[in-house]
Chains A and B, each alone.
Chain A
Amino acid sequence: MKITQFHKWLTFLILFIVLWLVLKTQSQNHFVVFLPIYAIIAFGVYSLGFIFWRVTHFPTCDDATEKLRKDIKEAEEDLKKRGYKAPQKKKEK
């Protein structure tokens, strides 16, 4: 039987719930009783923070467009040398 991501998550969820129920019998602490809610909130905060960080630190390479334009010119010259003729387009360049 193949074990899918769903199975892994289900296992984790069941373990978490069992541990939580056991913890609840040991302590009436507000934090323990509402642990699942806090876990979800923490995950939400982490996710937003992670995405925010990645977006604001998104790797960019601003000179890549220029470099590509140069490489395109070089390719065009190479093609011309080899006898390539671009098909006629309707509008004039």
Chain B
Amino acid sequence: MSKSYKYSVLLPTYNESENLPLVVSMIVKAFESIEADFEIIVVDDGSPDGTQEVCKQLIKIYGSERLLLKPREKKLGLGTAYIHGLKFASGNFVFIMDADLSHHPKYIPEMIERQKTQDFDVVTGTRYSPKIPTCGVAGWPFKRKLISTTANYIATTLLNPKVSDLTGSYRLYKKEVLENIVQKVISKGYVFQMEIIARARKEGYTISEVGIEFVDRLFGESCFNTSEITGFLAGLVKLFFEL
């Protein structure tokens, strides 16, 4: 008789009233397909577009055991959103992912399976590992590919985390692993996700990669401008001296 595990999905949201019902429906479908015990914790940072009302409706539909809303008053950053969500997580494992459908819940069963093979501490989705043929991005212009490749190259050279997708944020952690790391993180923005995985590597946690297909937001596009580039490099340098 195998041990029964519970998976907590942390979903930080901001203005996701359109995507939230879709992603919740897909997450539920993914877990039900493998009959695994789970809960979804939505950490909304005071979205003005009614995300929390939508979430309350979904709670009536799916039940308060499966879906929890733990909001905050305003945008307070991803790191604190994870810390906040973790307080309410009753699972042994924690998924972190984006609520905008760029992270497809269909990979949840595969990530769970992979974790079990060697009891990995972390399973991370990669969008562009050369060793994994099933991953990839959809609809990225040349400029974005160039920026992403260059950023990953610089980060890998400086921090050497031995992970192919450093800024990826579709991951499965053992709960105590994430709790341990997220307390120590000092970075913000893109570098935040990098720091988590770099620290995980440094602390000796075992990490495995699963190839994912990454489709950009169907509604809207985020860009990487000059101030973000300098912020990114500054953050990297800080980690270079920190880790």
Instruction: Name A residues whose Cβ lies closer than 8 Å to a Cβ of B.
Output: 4-6, 47, 50-51, 54-55, 57-65, 67-69, 71-72, 75-76, 78-79, 82-87
Contacts and interface: CB of A to CB of B under 8 A. Distances in A.
Closest 3 pairs between A and B when the two form their complex, measured CB to CB: A61-B136, A59-B136, A75-B25
Interface residues of B, number: 46
Contacts of A83: 61
A55 B243 contact: no
Given A59-B133, A60-B136, A84-B21, 11 more contacts: A4-B240, A5-B158, A55-B149, A59-B137, A60-B137, A61-B136, A69-B218, A79-B61, A82-B61, A87-B50, A87-B54
Interface of B: 17-18, 21-22, 25-26, 29, 50, 53-54, 57-58, 61-62, 101, 104, 106, 127-128, 130, 133, 135-140, 142, 145-146, 149-150, 153, 157-160, 213-215, 218, 239-243
Contacts of A85: 57
A70 to B, nearest CB: 11
Given A4-B241, A79-B25, A86-B21, A58 B218 contact: no
26 contacts: A4-B240, A4-B241, A5-B160, A47-B157, A51-B149, A55-B146, A58-B140, A59-B133, A59-B136, A60-B137, A60-B138, A60-B140, A61-B138, A62-B139, A64-B215, A68-B101, A69-B218, A71-B106, A72-B22, A75-B22, A75-B26, A78-B29, A79-B61, A86-B18, A86-B21, A87-B50
Contacts, number: 102
Given A5-B240, A60-B140, A71 B213 contact: no
A78 B213 contact: no
Given A58-B145, A59-B136, A61-B138, A87 B104 contact: no
A67 to B, nearest CB: 8
A58 B128 contact: yes
Contacts of B218: 65, 68-69, 72
Most buried by B among A65, A68, A72, A82: A68
Contact of B243 (A5, A51, A61, A87): A5
Contacts of A78: 25, 29
A86 B18 CA distance: 8
A87 B150 contact: no
Contacts of B104: 68, 71
A69 B239 CA distance: 39
Nearest to A86: B21
A71 B61 contact: no
A63 B140 CA distance: 13
Contacts of B50: 87
A4 B153 contact: no
A61 B215 CA distance: 9
A79 B160 CA distance: 44
A87 B53 contact: yes
A48 to B, nearest CB: 10
Nearest to A62: B138
A58 B149 contact: yes
A72 B23 CA distance: 9
